[in-house]
Amino acid sequence: MIRLDQVSFSYTDEQVSRPAVQDLSFTLEAGQMVVLLGPNGSGKSTLAWLIKGRLLPGKGKVIVDGLNTLDKNQRRQVQNLVGLVGPVPDHQFISNLVADDVAFGPQNLGLERAEINRRVDAALKMVSMEDYAQYPPYLLSGGQKQRVCLAGVLAMQPRYLILDEATSMLDPAGRQQVLEILAKLRQERKIGILLITQNLEEALLADRVAIMHQGRIAIDLPFRELAASPDLLKEYGMEEPPLLHMASLLKKHGLLPNHCFPDSLDQVVKALC
Amino acid sequence: MESAAHRWDARSKITAVVGLSISIIAASHWLQAAAAGLVILILLVLSCISWRYYLSNLHLLLILAAITSLLQLLVVPGRVIYTLAGVTLTWEGLLAGSWLLFRITGVLLLAAWLTFTTKPGELTAGLERLLAPLQFIRFPVQELVMIMTLSLRFLPLLAEEAQQIQRAQLIRGVNWSKGSLKQKGRYVVAFIVPLLRLSLQRAEDLAEAMENRGYQAGITRTRLYAQPLSRSDWVLIAVTGIVLMAQLL
């Protein structure tokens, strides 16, 4: 389990100190998917880096499976347990060949070559990119690139996965592909997933939705509870996704039962017919 | 297509390229040059890559080599072949020019052969293993090879950034083909400064991505391409050695 206890962190230079995260407490369990929403500058990426052990809390502590990121020896293990995928795929490629790029992480773990090859094959298959192993990454589409980045992290077999706006630069089809992979990872590998996004529609698959505001977790609720409170969303500058807005209108007019939270248009049609 | 040349280990290919390049540059007799040239020709045939592909990728460099050779033809004094408008062509110039063209073409073809038949990862891994003995004198071989890998990664990225800056300038009315020399100088500065800034930003992004995937300077990394040399690799090294030895005779 990932646990943040009363964590604070500020970006400082010689003149100013800007608090990015303040007294933040948060948990993520293995096999759980939490969507983290919030406007730019609310501290979402800082939170991701604190969990990954790339930033250290000024106050409080970050514990990942019992390992404290403040401990230098334990931090290295934490960094291997937590995989982080960033928003721009082009900035995450290290090698000139998809297979070599996916192998980069396992190579750093010092694994046997046969094991590395096995992990590379499995990771590429997981993201349906096995046919592109010998391609240069820059020849791939945006969605394919992001899937390769995901494979690069999965090949390290992390227990937790953080996607920091990893779907923000993708078209709807590419975004859908990544979300389907995440659902599969969660079910089959019991990986704990923290999906940082600006898009509430991606929260449909999540167990919980957290909203960050000015460096704090302002809301941490199961998705259904949040979806049932559109005013709460508006309060934090979030727009209700069109599908949920339609569902709430249908409920208001008694056309849809109150317990129904559709995650696709097909479900709405089914409920109506 | 996977040819015999593609299957050879990068170490034997790098050895062959370095050895044959030295041979062709150091050759003082036509027989020595012919031996090196013949081996290069065989290597090109074994790569199963069409001549057209080699030429299309090298044509600019070959034109440059031809111009350099032509200058030799014009400036080397000796027995006159022909004089036209004050320019004298000599037999010695012709010989020197031909030698130079032969040598440059040979080296360029070898370099192209190596890069066309070897994956970038194999190339850097081969170099790492060849330079491994230097680690005993604390030479940072792994770091050097990582720099090479990243440089190879950076080339398409830089080209893309350069294109983007050029497009952005074009939209803002920059026309490279018009304007005074001073104006063109300004355009160059306006092009280079953002390119440098973006390059530094990309370098930082890359460092972050590497650290995110567990890279740290000095860690023991698994070599991805580390198979033992095969019999055909040894044959290639031996042939290179023979050609190199022939230069001493």
- Residues B158-215: tens digit of each pLDDT: 888 888 888 888 888 877 777 788 888 888 888 889 888 888 888 888 888 998 998 8
Q: At residue A239, does pLDDT exceed 70?
A: yes
Delineate the domains of chain A, giving CATH numbers in brackets.
Answer: 2-238 (3.40.50.300), 241-273 (no CATH)
Residues B114-123: b if buried by 16+ CB within 10 A, e if exposed: bebbbbbbbb
- Here the tokens at position A95 are 């090698």
pLDDT of residue B79: 81
Mean pLDDT for A127-146 is 89
CB spacing of A111 vs B220 below 8 angstroms: no
Task: Note the pLDDT tens digit of each residue in A184-205.
Answer: 888 888 899 999 988 877 887 7
Average pLDDT, chain A: 87
Mean pLDDT for A149-155 is 93
Mean pLDDT for A53-62 is 92
Percent of chain B residues topping a pLDDT of 90 = 28
Residue B1 confidence class, pLDDT cut points 50, 70, 90: low
pLDDT of residue B157: 78
Task: Note the pLDDT tens digit of each residue in B108-154.
Answer: 999 999 999 998 878 888 888 898 888 888 888 888 888 887 887 77
Q: What is the DSSP letter of A247?
A: H
Phi, psi (5° rounding) for residue B215?
Answer: -80, 135
pLDDT of residue A229: 76
Interface size between A and B, measured as CB pairs under 8 A:
86
pLDDT of residue A65: 93
CB spacing of A94 vs B153 below 8 angstroms: yes
**CA proximity to A53, closest of A39, A65, A69, A68:** A69
* Chain centre to alpha carbon of residue A153: 12
Mean pLDDT for A167-188 is 83
- Residue ranges of E strands in chain A: 2-12, 17-28, 33-37, 59-64, 67-68, 82-85, 160-164, 192-196, 208-213, 216-222
A interface toward B at CB cutoff 8 Å? 52, 54, 79-80, 84, 86, 88, 90-97, 100, 103-113, 116, 136, 138, 152-153, 156
pLDDT of residue A122: 93
- Here the tokens at position A101 are 């790029």
Mean pLDDT for B34-53 is 92
Percent of chain A residues topping a pLDDT of 70 = 100
Average pLDDT, chain B: 87
Mean pLDDT for A127-144 is 89
Q: At residue A46, does pLDDT exceed 90?
A: yes
Q: Does B215 touch chain A (CB under 8 A)?
A: yes
Q: Which of B209, B219, B223 sits opposite A92 (nearest CB)?
A: B209
